[in-house]
Chains A and B, each alone.
Chain A
């Protein structure tokens, strides 16, 4: 599998954090492994700060120990048989002892793990291990930091405080950081430059808002959390109103969307977030929302602190919409399976994608 994977990217990293976002299997980890020298691409060139690390044509391939790249893996890969202190000092073997001791101390302070120095790496908590892994890889003064979904397993508070420490550290060091994640929430929280990777290709670059809130490709839409994806045909253009109408292929209902690049009669994909759809138990009037569709709840399922409802539109071939509700909304509206409801969707919540 690995051998037939095609990763084809060209990117230049500015200083600071760049997020690599994409679904599982998009090639995110492969990209990092190639940059670190753990995988060798068939062809390519990698340069950091004017130093050539890889040029397949010219047969230059600097081995990983000499690349000056720090890499924090998803599983962190702390050495379990060593203490926290030994882990952090591992990359400083060439340094004279006094210098090494002061560097380790500085890293401990920057990532606030001093009190763990003598503990075994496998005896500390997940958040602590995360800090130690950062301290260990950054102790060597790398020229680039690669982070492979490092915070996925942590809760929000911990994530935030670790990211703050990393940012503070990098304010002084100022190196490029490549942060890989498949979590939309993490992208929003970090809020920096995003590169979207899908099937081994960069399909979009920009701020999270530019890149992810108006996706133009359906694979990207699925990746960035659009629960509702429909095939449709553009039936009408109303340029003066800045809208167009799209008839869903399944379900035969029409939905008003913002003007897109498509012409009338073109096949398009419609993406709507489950959290952007309102449910009403009576037909609503006097709303700015242009799309009001009658339907019936066909399933209702609690997921953590929310309900996920499937609502079938009352038209032939019934299009099914996924809707997210709070526990309170479900209780107050007395929603249950088979109850007739109205779906309310703002025009600007309907995203038109190139297929």
Chain B
């Protein structure tokens, strides 16, 4: 049960952090055009195609006592980040990045630009336009982004294993717990945890798609029918 609570805690932390970083970044990628933009887009999408071991390996090096992030952490907190919950959060944020940013970009880009123009001509600053017009109308995209990054973090395995190791209560997440049980031939335990994970994932996803559809219908349907 510890492993499951840890997984949920990790996923919650990661989705909140990703939402905070992802929104400004997605806004920037959706509405600004500059020459090197495609490079940033490629970097954002990289975790989709990279093997988790590759990402995990480099994060581990970076977090270690000789890595840049490890050094900063040593200086600030007198301890490294490798094999800690903080390190796991860091690695998972990187790994789930595209699952937050891409739905956000998609919903920002789908926005009727004339609504943004109208807001500007009515005297609104960019930040007011973002809060009053873009955010409420992108609600379905934001919900999708949070849920996808949550679910993706909940189910990740390779990166966690590389960066977190397998410390009970600290870095042993549900998916690692299952792997552990299978390795020790404890199929009943493995099955219990796997089933719980399956059910949680399904319930969360269907709840969100259901809500999303209702929001979507309310906001968009009558508008599109004009």
Contacts and interface: CB of A to CB of B under 8 A. Distances in A.
Contact of A80 (B117, B120, B124, B223): B223
Given A77-B115, A79-B115, A122-B223, A93 B121 contact: no
Interface string B214-226: 0000010011001
A79 B133 contact: yes
A71 B112 contact: no
A47 to B, nearest CB: 18
Interface stretch (A62-70, A99-107, A184-192, A205-213): A62-70
B119 to A, nearest CB: 7
A90 B121 contact: no
A73 B117 contact: yes
Contacts of B226: 122, 126, 129
Contact of A71 (B118, B128, B223): B118
A80 B137 contact: yes
Given A81-B219, A122-B222, A122-B223, A64 B137 contact: no
A68 to B, nearest CB: 8
A140 interface: yes
A91 B117 contact: no
Interface size class of B (residues with CB under 8 A): 20 to 34
B112 A77 contact: yes
Contacts of A75: 112, 114
Interface string A260-280: 000000000000000000000
A65 B125 contact: yes
Contacts, number: 69
Contact of A65 (B115, B120, B133, B137): B120
Contacts of B169: none
A122 B136 CA distance: 15
Contacts of B132: 79, 90
Tell me the dominant secondary structure on chain A's binding face: mixed
A73 B120 CA distance: 13
Interface residues of A, number: 29
A63 B132 CA distance: 19
A123 interface: yes
A284 B124 CA distance: 68
A71 B222 contact: no
Contacts of B114: 73, 75, 77
Nearest to B120: A64
A140 B121 CA distance: 10
A38 interface: yes
Interface string A73-92: 10101111100000000110
A242 B149 CA distance: 81
B131 to A, nearest CB: 12
Nearest to B115: A77
A78 to B, nearest CB: 8
Interface string A18-38: 000000000000000000101
B123 interface: yes
A129 B133 CA distance: 18
B20 interface: no
Given A90-B122, A129-B226, 13 more contacts: A38-B117, A38-B121, A65-B120, A71-B118, A73-B114, A73-B117, A79-B115, A90-B119, A90-B124, A93-B128, A123-B222, A136-B122, A137-B118
The 4 closest A-B pairs by CB, nearest first: A91-B122, A77-B114, A77-B118, A64-B120
